Amino acid sequence: MKANAWISLSAIALVLGAARGQTTAAYIGQLVKPGTGNDSKARLEIRRVTNYGFRPGAESERSAQETDLLAGLAKASDWEVKAYLMDEIRYGGKSASIVPLSGYLNDPNLCEPAAMALLSIGVTEGSGAILPLIRTALIASTGKCAATLMRAAGSIRDNDPATVDFLIGMAANADRGVHYVALRGLADIGDPKARGILAAALKATDAFDRSQAVDLNLLFAMRLAERGSKADANAIAQDIRASGAAGGLRNVVVHADSTLEAIKNAVVSVNRAESKYGTVRTDAMRTDIRVDSGIHGGSIRVTATGGPYRVRISDLRGRRVLGFQGDGSGAREYSLGSLPMGIYRMSWEDAAGRQSRNLLLP
């Protein structure tokens, strides 16, 4: 279906909802805890208005929908209803949602959806808008929320000393899951202080843990290169390559070789190295999409000169998991680091039409 047809159908749905006297706020009031009633109609109508209001060029509708969603979030008593509303806000929330969402970052039930919504907002509003709040919550976090916020801090590459020290402390945790999440955050941030603890992970007795440590140390080397420390990055990757060659581990050698090549071509201060897929473009489209879906997440760099654009990432069941949009005024980079590994469908559209493709995040 073409973009203009989609907008027309959404507009019709919005008008029909208004004609029945129903508003987004009214539908939000009909939401119930899953398993206690049937609110599927209300959820469908909320999603329709969200999709329509969060389209490019509709700032007034977007703002109105965000306001209604935030009001519903404040009033809802059930945490699962709150999580649903956060997921809606994630699609198109902006600065108005940052402080309300941050209040849930240490809630055991809601830290995950709150963090994911904030990371999505950070894509369009800039990570600086969310970073201090995530950092503050991280330092005070425990249990499940600590793991969630460590992943978030790594995703936005918060290299503040307080964050790095917290992650180093958590990396000593006896829980393997917590230990690994902390190491991954340290590797993704790329602070030189983490070099020793990441190198120590390579000496793990468990084969799987050593394999994970190889991946993390090569990621760390890439981040060092992006911070300008290419000599140190090369040394780490070369050591891992030599160890893999000595042990007959062909996969380690290949991974180290690809990292060494990426280090050589790394652009200092740019979040991701050269694209795995290159630029995705046809003559009809006026938006260039550059995708880097490396082994540790990825990013999308959009260069648009033909006006507003929108990009949507969906899972294989067609459920939207990430989306962003721009006005076409220049190049923007959007992180995919919050998405787990898997196969996704990416679609993007501008004034010239719409395209889609599969996206693999290893």
- If you average pLDDT over every residue of the chain, what do you get? 80
pLDDT given for residue 294 in this prediction: 41
pLDDT given for residue 28 in this prediction: 92
pLDDT given for residue 326 in this prediction: 78
pLDDT given for residue 360 in this prediction: 62
pLDDT given for residue 354 in this prediction: 73
pLDDT given for residue 277 in this prediction: 34
Percentage of the chain beyond pLDDT 70 is 77
- pLDDT tens per residue, range 75-110: 999 999 999 999 999 887 889 999 999 999 999 999
**Calpha distance 18→11 (Å, rounded):** 11
| Between residues 321 and 233, the one the model is more confident about | 233
Q: Is residue 194 part of a domain?
A: no
Q: Is residue 25 part of a domain?
A: yes
pLDDT given for residue 267 in this prediction: 56
**Calpha distance 309→251 (Å, rounded):** 39
Neighbours of 144 (CB within 10 A): 14
Q: Is residue 43 part of a domain?
A: yes
- pLDDT tens per residue, range 314-325: 876 778 888 888
**Calpha distance 167→212 (Å, rounded):** 17
- Residue 192 per-residue DSSP state: G
Q: Which amino acid is at 268?
A: V
**Calpha distance 321→342 (Å, rounded):** 12
Instruction: Measure the CA dihedral 86/87/90/93, to 10°.
Output: -50
Q: Is residue 112 part of a domain?
A: no
pLDDT given for residue 342 in this prediction: 65
**Calpha distance 20→164 (Å, rounded):** 54
Q: Is residue 66 part of a domain?
A: yes
- When pLDDT is averaged across residues 258-264 and rounded to a whole number, the result is 85
Q: Is residue 41 part of a domain?
A: yes
- Let me know how long the chain is: 362
Question: Which residue range forms the structural domain that includes residue 294?
Answer: 278-361
Last residue of a domain, one of 69, 93, 117: 93
The tokens 């090569």 sit on which residue? 218
**Calpha distance 323→338 (Å, rounded):** 12
* Residue in 24, 66, 73, 70 with CA at minimum distance from that of residue 49: 24
Sign of the torsion formed by the C-alpha atoms of 97, 98, 104 and 109 = positive
* CATH, residue 307: 2.60.40.3080
pLDDT given for residue 337 in this prediction: 63
**Calpha distance 112→119 (Å, rounded):** 11
Least confident of 21-25, 127-131, 277-281, 299-303: 277-281
Q: Is residue 130 part of a domain?
A: no
Q: Is residue 219 part of a domain?
A: no
pLDDT given for residue 362 in this prediction: 54
Last residue of a domain, one of 93, 111, 136: 93
Q: Left, alpha or beta for 317 (phi > 0: left; psi -120 to 50: alpha)?
A: alpha
pLDDT given for residue 239 in this prediction: 94
Neighbours of 200 (CB within 10 A): 12
- pLDDT tens per residue, range 38-65: 999 999 988 888 887 777 677 888 888 9
Q: How many domains is the chain built from?
A: 2
Asked whether the predicted pLDDT for residue 272 surpasses 50, the reply is no
pLDDT given for residue 80 in this prediction: 95
